[in-house]
Amino acid sequence: MGFSTIAGAAFRALTARKDGPSLYDVCDPVLLKYRGGDPHLGKFYRTALGNPALRPLLRRTGHPALRDRKRLGALQEALRRARDEAEPDWAAVGQPIAELMADIKVHHPAPKPVAAPARSPGLAEIDRAIRRCGAHLLGSFAKNGFIPTYAAFNLIGDADMGGREMLMALTGLNSRGYKNSTLLFSLARIFIAHSPARALINPPWRGIAEPMWQPMQIRHRSAYYDAFFTEALLSYVETGLASSDEAAASRRAISEMVDFCLKTSAEEVPSHDGTTVNVITALAPLPHPRFSKFFSQIKQDLGFGIYVPDCDTTACSFSAATQAGCTDPILDQPLLDFYRGYQVREGANEPRVTVPLNDNIDYEGGVVTWIDNLAGDRPYGNDLDPTLNLDILEVSFRNLSRWKILETPQRLETVHRILGFQRRLAESGAFKNPRSHIYYLPELYSAYFGRCHAAFMALPEAARQAIDPDGAFALIRERVLAYVEGELIAREMNPFDAALALMALAHLGADVPSFAPALHVIVASLGEGGRHGPYRAYEWNKMKTPTRILVGGPEVTSAFVLMGLALARRAMTK
């Protein structure tokens, strides 16, 4: 988006004709200053929505429906109840906001079809991009002592979050601070959607994964990211393109990141059989997440003070450590015994999914996201994401012998039920629907299925037959390849989309000529990141509540591009 476009949108927002009460007309009388009640609601309002940067952009945006004094009064009364009541009826509190969310009109990207490129880039161009990405990751580690990832708010919200889903979140989340932030971000979305400022907050982009061009980006570190960067550097060393110094630096970084995952980020939690298990927390205690002091305080003010472990971070950390040859005793724990307690069994523990934003899919056999800590905290309630369940399968295949999965009927049954969950997702075509995913996009699901499929195919034939006697992997592979070849690479892509497409294509054994569209985008985009790296930051994963929070970074793009190109290169040189 050029300067003239930004300036025009800003000017229109600052000079718009006000057509009804604004966000601040609604909230200031209730939340700007008050005594008693819940202090966090007002603090969140002043910090996130009433701040000096956002207020000028939205103060002239009114909502015509709120010229009805009865409707305005009902909305303000709902805010008062959220502010003053010890145990608000959150469904009733959210209802006036849910009704106003009907015409937000936020849609998923719909990239245009494109013609296939005339030629595929050569190995020299591919090798150049791999080396640039590898050097970027190692340079970032040397500079920061870790490889950072960033979070950014998109205040227009997620396309899958309508009024119905907002009410699901308000009633299913456990943390009052998280309910507060969901309520007020949802209210703000209504006014942003009607404001010329919408063009600044949510400009169009190329491809599917959203670029992270928001000015407020929060740098942080997590074991989930370190596990992923570990895999990327392992991939770089395996290409043989790293210099001897770079290979040595990669091994040092890998060792430190694995240590961060398995030791710094380890947390003891209760298991469902009365024992305790060491899992990996989403964010290690301060100062390990490496927030700046400013953002650390903002995080507290916004109500994101409590983080709990999650099944995905645990699976990915164990997998990366296994691939790196780590022998830490924590890896001997058969995670499937623990995950079984978090696995949805139809009719028995379905209420475990308290925030069913993707209730268009059948949860039976899937494992939920969040793990209760020793104090019993679960601030996000619980949800269920398909990609997370691929990671559980993948780490189980890498530790098949260590965890005696084939020899233990209960563990094998857990694997069978997760695989059944994935099969139904593919048979229905739901994996292609963004609504089916909580934290990821369909193209990332496709890439991670490729990663999982590769681990499965590395097993002996007898093991594969015991795990998948009915050919679920073959069916899912066919459906995922059809999506990647027929939809993803046939339309406009950005380099992040292209990297994910390459990972899926190469891992799933697609014909090498099919790599051409993705390779072309990646090579042609090299250098787009300017001083920040070879490529821009794009959406890797997201939170749909309390608003659309994107996670990614230039280093993340470099890592995905590196892995996608490394896989393509291996197939091209066979």
Q: Which of 405, 401, 403, 385 is nearest to 448 (CA)?
A: 385
Q: Which of 470, 374, 489, 475 is nearest to 431 (CA)?
A: 475
Dist. CA 163–CA 143, nearest whole Å: 44
pLDDT of residue 7: 66
Whether 2 has a pLDDT exceeding 60, the answer reads: no
Q: Say if residues 197 and 61 touch (Cβ distance below 8 Å).
A: yes
Q: Say if residues 1 and 215 touch (Cβ distance below 8 Å).
A: no
Contacts of 447 (CB under 8 A, 6+ apart): 499, 500, 501, 503, 504, 507, 560, 564
Whether 452 has a pLDDT exceeding 60, the answer reads: yes
Whether 322 has a pLDDT exceeding 70, the answer reads: yes
Q: For residue 391, what is the enclosing H or E element?
A: helix 386-398
CB burial readout 74-86, b (16+ within 10 A) else e: ebbebbbebbeee
Q: Say if residues 533 and 555 touch (Cβ distance below 8 Å).
A: yes
pLDDT of residue 424: 98
Contacts of 36 (CB under 8 A, 6+ apart): 84
Tell me the two tokens of residue 474: 């073959």
Dist. CA 454–CA 394, nearest whole Å: 9
Name the residue with tokens 């005339």. 118
**pLDDT tens digits, 412-437:** 999 999 999 999 999 999 999 999 99
| Portion of the chain with pLDDT greater than 90, in percent | 80
Q: For residue 223, what is the enclosing H or E element?
A: helix 223-239
Residue 204's pLDDT band (boundaries 50, 70, 90)? confident
**pLDDT tens digits, 79-125:** 999 999 999 999 999 999 999 999 899 999 999 999 989 888 999 99
**pLDDT tens digits, 267-308:** 999 999 889 999 999 887 777 777 766 566 665 556 566 678
Could you tell me the residue ranges of all domains in the chain?
Answer: 3-110+172-199, 145-154+204-572
- Helical H segments across 15-59, by residue range: 23-27, 39-44, 55-58
pLDDT of residue 280: 96
Specify the pTM: 0.94
Q: Which of 239, 155, 232 is nearest to 198 (CA)?
A: 155
Whether 359 has a pLDDT exceeding 80, the answer reads: yes
pLDDT (average), residues 487-508: 98
Tell me the two tokens of residue 545: 């509540």
pLDDT of residue 196: 85
pLDDT (average), residues 511-532: 96
pLDDT of residue 197: 81
pLDDT of residue 11: 67
Domain formed by 145-154+204-572, architecture: Alpha/alpha barrel (1.50)
pLDDT (average), residues 188-211: 90
